[in-house]
């Protein structure tokens, strides 16, 4: 296995750990309430937690600082809007954890976040390695 592939696998693992903490352990009540409103400070803060985690992850794999800053700016925008989409959908359809559609929305939300990480890893290989 080449060094790049090994580091890419480590990068994916670190992004998964970062995502688990940012999405499931570090959300505050402010981040979780009112998610269907577009201008939502809590959602902006939540996306910021993801960005801080990604900065740490990409610094650990030795990515250049300017690359990291550009990458996490895009990540913040995507995360903010993916979560807005889910919040809107849950509000519009009155979804809660007791409805199967809530879990489909959660699965789609998480899949979009994971595909964002695939794109971020591609960008790292393409522009930072």
What mean pLDDT value characterizes the chain? 96
pLDDT category of residue 2 using cuts at 50, 70 and 90: confident
Q: Which domain holds residue 108?
A: 3-128
Predicted pLDDT of residue 34: 85
Give 14-36 pLDDT, tens digit per residue: 999 999 999 999 999 999 988 88
pLDDT category of residue 97 using cuts at 50, 70 and 90: very high
Contact 64, 128 (CB under 8 A): yes
The string over 103-120, giving b where at least 16 C-beta atoms fall within 10 Å of a residue's C-beta and e elsewhere, is eebeeebeebbeebbeeb
Predicted pLDDT of residue 118: 98
Q: Cα–chain-centroid distance for residue 92?
A: 23
Q: What domain count does the chain have?
A: 1
Give 38-77 pLDDT, tens digit per residue: 999 999 999 999 999 999 999 999 999 999 999 999 999 9
């Amino acid at each position: 296995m080449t060094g790049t592939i090994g580091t890419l696998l480590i990068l994916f693992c670190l992004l998964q750990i970062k995502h688990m903490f940012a999405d499931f352990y570090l959300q505050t009540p402010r981040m979780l309430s009112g998610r269907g409103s577009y201008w939502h400070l809590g959602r902006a803060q939540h996306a910021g937690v993801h960005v801080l985690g990604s900065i740490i992850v990409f610094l650990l794999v030795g990515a250049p600082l300017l690359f990291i800053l550009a990458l996490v700016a895009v990540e913040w925008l995507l995360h903010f809007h993916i979560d807005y989409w889910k919040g809107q959908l849950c509000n519009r359809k009155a979804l809660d954890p007791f409805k199967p559609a809530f879990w489909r929305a959660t699965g789609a939300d998480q899949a979009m976040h994971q595909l964002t990480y695939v794109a971020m890893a591609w960008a790292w290989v393409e522009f930072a390695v």
